Amino acid sequence: MSNPHRYCVIMCGGIGSRFWPYSRADRPKQFIDFFGTGRSLLQMSYDRILPLVDKEHVIIVTNDHYAPLVREQLPELADHQILLEPARRNTAPCIAWAAHHIHALDPEASMIVTPSDHLITRELEFINSIDRGFSFVENNDALLTLGIKPTRPETGYGYIQVGSPVEGNDGILKVKTFTEKPDLDLAKVFVESGEFFWNSGIFLWSAKAILEALHMHAPDLTATFDRGLGDFATEREREFIEREFPSCVNISIDYAVMERAANVYVECVDFGWNDLGTWSSLYDNSPKNRDQNVTQNCRVLAYNSSGNIFAVKGEKLVVANGLHDYIIADAGDVLLICPKSEEQHIKLYVNDVKLTYGDKHL
């Protein structure tokens, strides 16, 4: 039986524009079954946490627009376990609301906050790491983030510089600094130093500790939520959120709290983590044929072609010749053909599509 004071918050409001045209405004990447397992990234995130947290203590925070998708994919959740944001306001307002909601239910609660779209391949290691993290934050006034040992000088992730280890807590260290996405040269220095870990965006803390940190470091944000202190976990909560949430500042929890607080720690973990933020990361984590091509549940005849990822919906057959290291993604009304090395421009393509054709293909 898991600890009855443990909760999980799954953040599920992103639009996943780097996975366009598969990830669309009406069905973003967290709701897609990329690996043909019958479970979407959201469902896999939910399944992964159940050995640690009672299913009644799982909270999904998502955008109003995605409520039907969450209910379709996680029908076992009650309506009060799905918090619907009336506007997109980044991770700090999302976490502040969830922490207030949980604290009102259980002042002794501890919580893990995790994105809905990560891939984790070593689930037993994940369970052990999270269990250790929960124990640490339940016995210390601490804000804990999970750091991933870097395998390459990645410029798309934030980095955490680690300080001294915490006595009696294996793998947990004090945080020295956070650094946002570095350029390639700096990323190389980080990896070679051995002092830096990738910032996974997965956090653990007690509800009390994160609310205190938000009050100290994000007073403008907490002033909004303080106006609803009697409303959380009651029938008045929804009305309060509809009225006040859109006025929240748009800020990440890293900027609002983690980079400012003194009681921030990192647990260095190794459980096969990838944030699946890009087509290349999906390519890296998918099985490949002898030509190093990836086919995502589709039919492909490839000649003199290598290092490609083919993602095509429906019954369409793809025949390709002479393609190397490309993304070929066909979503029915949109066909994207782009070198993997240029995929950082996909957000630009999405903006141009919006300017030229409106929202039809988004």
Residue 258 DSSP one-character state: I
- Are the CB atoms for 2 and 52 separated by under 8 Å? yes
CA distance 348 to 183: 20
Question: Per-residue pLDDT for the chain (362 aa), expressed as one digit of tens each?
Answer: 568 999 999 999 888 788 889 888 888 999 998 888 899 999 999 999 999 999 999 999 999 999 999 999 999 999 999 999 999 999 999 999 999 999 999 999 999 999 999 999 899 999 999 999 999 999 999 999 999 988 888 887 889 999 899 988 888 999 998 888 888 888 888 888 888 999 999 999 999 999 999 999 999 999 999 999 999 999 999 999 999 999 999 999 999 999 999 999 999 998 988 888 789 888 988 899 999 999 987 899 999 999 999 999 878 999 999 999 999 999 889 999 999 998 888 989 999 999 999 988 98
- Kindly list the structural domains of the chain, giving each domain's residue range(s) and its CATH number in brackets, ordered by start: 6-274 (3.90.550.10), 283-357 (no CATH)
What radius of gyration do the chain's Cα atoms show? 21
CA distance 349 to 191: 31
Q: What angle do CA 104, 109, 115 make, to 5 degrees?
A: 95
Q: Which of 356, 110, 84, 92 is nearest to 241 (CA)?
A: 84
Q: How many residues does the chain have?
A: 362
CA 297 to chain centre: 24
pLDDT of residue 152: 85
Strand partners, 299: 317
Q: Which of 259, 298, 266, 270 is nearest to 146 (CA)?
A: 266
pLDDT of residue 249: 93
CA distance 84 to 167: 40
CA distance 83 to 62: 6
Can you list the alpha helix ranges (DSSP code H) found in the chain? 41-49, 67-73, 91-105, 123-139, 184-193, 207-217, 219-226, 237-244, 253, 279-284, 346-357
Q: What angle do CA 187, 190, 192 make, to 5 degrees?
A: 110
Q: Is 136 helix (H, G, I), strand (E, B) or coil?
A: helix
How is residue 14 written in tokens? Answer: 């992103």
| Widest pairwise Cα distance in the chain | 66
pLDDT of residue 187: 87
CA distance 215 to 209: 10
282 to each of 79, 119, 134, 174, 209, how far by Cα in Å?
32, 9, 30, 32, 35
pLDDT of residue 2: 67
Q: Compute, in degrees rounded to 10, the torsion defined by CA atoms 350, 351, 353, 354.
A: 120
CA distance 350 to 362: 7
